Amino acid sequence: MANPLCHPPLAELLGDRYTESPFERSFYQRDLAVVPHSLARLIGQTLPDAVARPRTAEEVAAIMRYAGERKLAVTPRAAGSTTFWNAVPLHGGLLLDLNGLAGLAALDTDHLTADVWAGTRWADLERALRRRGFAVLAYPTSAPAATVAGWFCMEGHGIGSLKYGGMAGHVAGLEAVLADGHIAQIAAATPDAPTVAELAGSEGTLAVITRIRLRLRPAPAAVGHHLLRFRDMATLQAAALDLSTARPTPYYLHFADDACGRLLTQAGFPPPADGALLAITYDGAAAEVAAGAATVERAAAQTAGEELPAAAAARAWDERFLALHLKRAGPSVLGTEAWLSVSQLAAYTANVARLARRQNLPIATYGMVVAPGMATVMSLFGCDDARPLAYLLALSLTGRLYEIAFRHGGRPYGIGVWNTPYLGRAFAAEELTAQRRRKQAFDPANLLNPGKRYAPPALLWPPTFRLGMAALAGIRRIGRRWLR
């Protein structure tokens, strides 16, 4: 006989879109990050008590009211396509799988906006819009998986952000279910609800977003791709800075160091060319694209960049969603994503390269210029999670990479769980206080995505964390000397 349900009203509400099956629940305990079970257990209860798949804001609201009455933790989740455990439960409770809340709800061609359900994947949205002659302003490099609300709940900087700004600025309004179960229609500033700006990057801790009104653009009439090769990251940095501030503004400005190319080759996917690469795409009117080509030519001449053939440039664009090719160099990868000034890129990669040499471990660095003078930078290295001790020791290198980023004025991009030890360094004290006050105001019972964003779990308290990372680094160093 089946076990009696813990939450029969939710089963009644959602029917077969609700489960307490241990088998089904077990698939919601992770994101891209590979975390040994022994470590995961120390962090929190990652197995949700139930999974619900609402299809309307009203269903979400009913679930939130039910959760509020019983003080149940609620973790909103869609693709689960980050590495920070933003959408992994730490306190069991209810997991809201929002993938079914998907699709283009309305298109306003006069005002160039689209009402989009929260769980719509960016690639699907862009395809649907392009068929109608429109396009989104920006989208993430994980567009085939990432959802509209998911990216908004992260910081929302990606392809197109340099030209059009971060996603927060693309949201003309949204619908969200607050912790008390109230459905709020939120414009720029709405009483008794967080603002659009406050919800951006809040990682599902302030409300469950159900629908977003996105600003659009007409589908660009023309597109032009370029790929420049540089002898080193210093000249690449100069060109990236030049191009990011010149007119026209590139739609896409992606860089990769030569270590990235080597690691890709090791993974079986040689890049279009070796060396430090800068991929640039302009789109818009034909004249803008032509002007972009002239700008690239000028920038290349000034920085001794070599413009590679058009086919290589087109390939770099076609592969903009395929950074995970690197995983074949693993089978696991570990790494960091930092928000960093472009002016620090060469110094940052030089320090990373130094660390890589000392560790005798290839570390690939790549990223995108996403705002004037600012970039999101990934540094990744291969490892093997089937060797738990070695894997745990390799984790210490992520701490070293973040230290390099901090040294160059950077900070972690995205917090979730794993970057909570850096909260005090990633945000100014007053900003952090404001964030915590906001959480207290809009979710006083701490129902929404508890354990994320505002304070680290016990194991990740900065002093403990620093001690742990130092110990792991020490053991790794001794182990490597011993092996030599």
Partner 1 sequence: MTTPAPFGGLAQETRICAHCGYCLAGCPIYQAVGWESASPRGRMAIAAALVHGNALSAEAAQRLYECTLCGHCRTVCPTRIDTLATWLEARQRLADQSALDRLPLGRLRDNLCAAHNITGEPAENRLLWQEELSLAPALLNARPGAQVVYFVGCVAALYGQGHAIARAAVEIFHRADLDFTTLGSAEWCCGFPLLGLGLPEEAAAVARHNLAAVRALAGQAVVTTCPSCFHMWRDVYPALLGGPIGVEVMHAGELLARLIAEGRIAFRPLPGRVTYHDPCDLGRNSGVYDAPRAVLQAIPGLELVEMADHRKHARCCGGGGNLEAINPDLAGELARQRLVQAVETGATLLVTPCQQCKRTLATAARRERVRLRVLDLTETVVQALA
Closest CA to 178 of 211, 209, 207: 207
Among 13, 164, 321, 411, binds partner 1 (CB under 8 A): 321
Query: ∠ at Cα 147 (142, 153), nearest 5°?
Result: 100
181: left (phi over 0), alpha (psi -120 to 50) or beta: left
In angstroms, the CA 111 to CA 29 distance is 41
Pick 144 or 173: Cβ nearer partner 1: 144
Q: Give kind and range of the element (H or E) at residue 310.
A: helix 310-318
Find the shortest distance in angstroms from Cβ 99 to partner 1: 7
Q: Rule CB under 8 A: is residue 28 a binding residue for partner 1?
A: yes
Nearer of residues 76 and 80 to partner 1, judged by Cβ: 80
Write down the least CB distance from residue 255 to partner 1, Å. 19
Bridge partners, residue 276, by sequence: 230
Report yes or no: 73 and 23 within 8 Å, Cβ to Cβ. Answer: no
Binding of residue 23 to partner 1 (CB under 8 A): yes
Residues in region 247-276 near partner 1 by CB under 8 A: 268-269
Gap between the Cα atoms of 314 and 290, Å rounded: 16
198-257 positions binding partner 1, by CB under 8 A: none
Segment near partner 1 (CB under 8 A); pick from 117-125, 287-295, 389-397, 458-466: 117-125
Of 124 and 242, the one with the shorter C-beta distance to partner 1 is 124
* Nearest distance, CB of residue 24 and partner 1, angstroms: 5
Phi, psi for 3 (deg, rounded to 5): -65, 145
- In 3D space, the residue among 154, 127, 122 whose CA is nearest the CA of residue 139 turns out to be 122
CB of 272 to partner 1, least distance (A): 17
x/- contact string, 34-63, with partner 1 (CB under 8 A)?
-----------------x-x----------
Q: How many C-beta neighbours within 10 Å does residue 430 have?
A: 8
Q: What is the H or E stretch that residue 211 is in?
A: strand 207-218
Q: Does 145 bind partner 1 (CB under 8 A)?
A: yes
**Residue pair 246/237 in contact by the 8 Å Cβ criterion:** no
How many residues bind to partner 1 according to rule CB under 8 A?
Answer: 40
Which residues bind to partner 1, rule: CB under 8 A? 17, 19, 21, 23-24, 27-28, 30-32, 51, 53, 79-81, 97, 99-100, 121, 123-124, 131, 142, 144-146, 268-269, 321-325, 327-328, 330-332, 385-386
